Amino acid sequence: MRPPVSGRTRLAAVIGDPVRHSLSPVIFDAAAAATGADLAYVALEVRAEDLREAVEGCRALGLVGMNVTSPHKERAAGFLDALSDLARRLGAVNCVTLDGTRLVGDSTDGAGFIAALRHDQVDHVGRRVAVVGAGGAARSIIAALAEAGTGLITVHNRTPSKVGPAVDLAGLRGRPGGEDDLRAADVIVQATSVGMGDDRAIPLDPDLLHAGQTVIDIVYHPIETPLLAAAAARGARTLNGLGMLVGQAAIAFERWTGLLAPVEEMRRAALHHLTRG
Ligand code: ATR
């Protein structure tokens, strides 16, 4: 159990709309319980028209920090005192830290994704990675992969006009991808919301997948998306999006508490919550 809330308890939150199904409170509670951190974490539903006041409320209320989720990641970046270089490049934040009286925004989804690759021993350095999607999540992953030494990053997206700006985030390591690149990839990252909930769609031709590949879906609900089921049936290694979610939560926890994040406990709590009853 986490310590009981007291006058000394520090508070953090995630803001989004909708946000009531967020796993982040469960993950942070597990981290607080495992480390004894006196941190309480709540999910707050914030409407678009209230976003500025909500972000500034972080300072007024003295929260240690705030995670920002859909649909506010882009607009919230405009209400902060400072942004990391990466947040500025991506034009989005998912992690806000109160530094003295300044609200500092960062984009840590990509770093969380790389942490998950390390945790699960997925070799991407010098390898070929195909990223499906060119939205906010895909862009943060592309930038992080390029930074972390991926050999070639190919970008695949339903709307071709969005591919160029996403490729640019990978610098010389990136280019637009085609079917041959999906077949030749060592790692395929599904970075769209396709396959979430009851959606049975698969955003690529599953017959391009094969043994020897690792297929990662950033979706974690359901735990096994239709894409991951198709990939497993063809002999590929599969990973869902829980690793990335926990990875970015671990970064925030460490930043806000100064403690080492208990990643295994955080993962276990998220998985337990998703699979319970
Ligand atoms: P997020 O922040 O979750 O990445 P986003 O920025 O709105 O959300 O990006 C959504 C991504 O999912 C885009 O790459 C989008 O493709 P388009 O650029 O063609 O819109 C992709 N996407 C969403 N629904 C899709 C679908 N049904 N099939 C294929 N791609 C889809």
Which strand ranges, in their side-by-side order, compose the sheet holding 65-68? 39-45, 10-16, 65-68, 95-99, 102-106, 82-83
Crossing angle (nearest 10°) for helices 24-35 and 263-275 = 140
Q: Which backbone phi and psi does 53 adopt, to 5 degrees? A: -65, -35
Alpha-carbon span 145 to 240, nearest angstrom: 17
CA distances 211 to 154, 231, 234, 235, Å, are 20, 8, 6, 4
Q: Which of 86, 98, 90 is nearest to 74 (CA)?
A: 90
Pairing of strands 95-99, 82-83: unpaired
pLDDT of residue 70: 96
| CA 58–ligand 1 middle distance (angstroms) | 30
Mutate to test the pocket of ligand 1, among 69, 70, 193 (most ligand atoms within 8 A of CB): 193
Alpha-carbon span 110 to 3, nearest angstrom: 31
235 torsion bin: left (phi>0), alpha (psi -120 to 50), beta (else): left
Task: Give yes or no for residue 135 CB within 6 A of ligand 1.
Answer: yes
Mutate to test the pocket of ligand 1, among 131, 158, 217, 218 (most ligand atoms within 8 A of CB): 158
What atom in ligand 1 is closest to the CA of residue 133?
Answer: 14
| CA 166–ligand 1 middle distance (angstroms) | 12
The pair of structure tokens assigned to 186 is 């060592």
Alpha-carbon span 202 to 184, nearest angstrom: 19
What atom in ligand 1 is closest to the CA of residue 132?
Answer: 14
| CA 191–ligand 1 middle distance (angstroms) | 8
Q: Which of 2, 275, 272, 255 is nearest to 112 (CA)?
A: 255
Question: DSSP states of 171-214 as a string?
Answer: GGGEEE--HHHHHH-SEEEE-SSTT-TT----SS-GGG--TT-E
Per-residue pLDDT of the chain (277 residues; tens, 9 = 90+): 777 899 999 999 999 999 999 999 999 999 999 999 999 999 999 999 999 999 999 999 999 999 999 999 999 999 999 999 999 999 999 999 999 999 999 999 999 999 999 999 999 999 999 999 999 999 999 999 999 999 999 999 999 999 999 999 999 999 999 999 999 999 999 999 999 999 999 999 999 999 999 999 999 999 999 999 999 999 999 999 999 999 999 999 999 999 999 999 999 999 999 998 5
Alpha-carbon span 167 to 156, nearest angstrom: 10
| CA 54–ligand 1 middle distance (angstroms) | 27
Task: Give yes or no for residue 158 CB within 6 A of ligand 1.
Answer: yes
Q: What positions carry a catalytic annotation? A: 73
pLDDT of residue 277: 56
pLDDT of residue 4: 85
Task: Give yes or no for residue 134 CB within 6 A of ligand 1.
Answer: yes
The pair of structure tokens assigned to 164 is 């160029």
pLDDT of residue 276: 87
Task: Give yes or no for residue 193 CB within 6 A of ligand 1.
Answer: yes
| CA 32–ligand 1 middle distance (angstroms) | 34
Task: Give yes or no for residue 194 CB within 6 A of ligand 1.
Answer: yes
Alpha-carbon span 64 to 42, nearest angstrom: 12
Task: Give yes or no for residue 162 CB within 6 A of ligand 1.
Answer: yes
What spatial distance separates the first Cα and last Cα of the chain, rounded to whole Å?
21
CB 80 within 8 A of CB 101: no
